[in-house]
Amino acid sequence: MAMSEPSASGEILLPGATLGVLGGGQLGRMFTLAARVMGYQVVVLDPDPASPAGQLADVHLKADYRDAVALLRMGAMCQAVTTEFENVPAESLAMLAKHCRVAPRAEALAVAQDRLAEKTRAREFGCATAPFANIEGEADLDAAWAAVGSPALLKTRRLGYDGKGQVRVGSREALAAAFASLDGVPCLLEGFLPLEREVSVVLARNPADEIAFFPLAENRHRNGILDVSLVPARVSEAVAGQARDMAARLARGLDYVGVLAVEFFVLADGRVVFNEMAPRPHNSGHYTLDACATDQFQQQVRALCGLPLGDPRLLSPVAMVNLLGDVWRPEPDWAALLRHPGVQLHLYGKAEARPGRKMGHYNCLAPTPEAALELAMATRAALGID
């Protein structure tokens, strides 16, 4: 284990130390790549024997996230552990924290796992949100509908992502049907707002309270899944400043250490409204792999290890395009994509392509945001993405 002398913000973990990541998907894979390039060893805990991150790790613990024996082994092997997705049990992080450094904290992860807690804490930290109402059972439907009205979006409070666990409703009757279709689990009813666009802030915060912001991404979704991110976002500096300020309030309010993504709605009148946060690197931050001086996974390593954060500045305008399993028929036309010198392809090592499954992404670099977006749309069409 390589360490420096202790400092006010904790010991700095230097290359040679062993880092752990809970979760073996593509985000864990890219964290593992960044950590190994920087000279760290990596332990991945994921139950899938073919997990994308486990393929590249020094050690792959093939166990459930609640497996006490595997968690104890990880805590003994690692000097610090992070997570690659928000649905890892917060209790597992709390258990690991007894044996090694853990970032983000279990308490911050627990907030991000529950939409009611997330929205409530965001308001406490001074972030504007859409109108919302909590629904624990059928008895709450009338009051929620009266508070929020139509149109609205019913969302499960837990385990929803990429458009899953969400139903749009336009009447009290539709609300009752939607609640039943979601098996009557606790939900949040959120009102719609007059949107101009959606943006996200990806930041890193280390134990010394240093915060580094990546440039805002402007995001477009298809079927609830991120499709294209354009950077820099086409918003004013005033709007960007509002978003950065709210994201920093969340990070500091939760005493969050690591990479945090915060999604915002930009309204037609210029107001910025909190949507949701992800306590990890984010799909909308994948552009940083090719377009920034330091990428989001290098920042995740630096924050976890207590190092000074890297330079997040943008080196080139860029558009990121998600690659879903829908375009594997049986294999995309990579030649049509890679004939463009401004395109950088990233595949995640997943053996099976399924509709809606994130299989990879690519970044389109160009001299201007307009040119980057044009290249992204042309290459999407060449791959058969509608």
Q: Using one digit for the tens of pLDDT, what is the confidence trace for 85-144?
A: 888 999 999 999 999 999 999 999 999 999 999 999 999 999 999 999 999 999 999 999
CATH code for residues 195-382: 3.30.470.20
Domain boundaries, the chain: 18-102, 131-191, 195-382
CATH code for residues 131-191: 3.30.1490.20
Residue-level pLDDT at 311: 98
Round to whole Å and give the CA distance between 86 and 118: 12
Q: Torsion angle, CA of 63/278/221/173, rounded to 10 degrees?
A: 90
**Average per-residue pLDDT for the chain:** 93
Residue-level pLDDT at 295: 98
What helix, strand, coil percent values describe the chain, rounded to 5?
A: 30, 30, 40
Round to whole Å and give the CA distance between 13 and 20: 13
Q: Torsion angle, CA of 244/23/32/77, rounded to 10 degrees?
A: 120
CA distances from 59 to 53, 55, 109, 110, 157 (A): 10, 9, 24, 27, 34
Dihedral angle sign, alpha carbons of residues 159, 162, 168, 173: negative
Low-confidence ranges of the chain (pLDDT < 50): 1-9
Angle (deg, nearest 10), helices 237-253 and 115-124: 110
Residue-level pLDDT at 125: 95
Residue-level pLDDT at 149: 85
Residue-level pLDDT at 347: 97
The model's pTM: 0.93
Is it true that 131-191 and 195-382 share their CATH fold? Answer: no
Residue-level pLDDT at 2: 40
Q: How far is CA 61 from the centre of its chain?
A: 23
Report the alpha-carbon angle 12-91-125, nearest 5: 70
CATH code for residues 18-102: 3.40.50.20
How many CB atoms are located within 10 Å of the residue 131 CB? 13
How many CB atoms are located within 10 Å of the residue 154 CB? 24
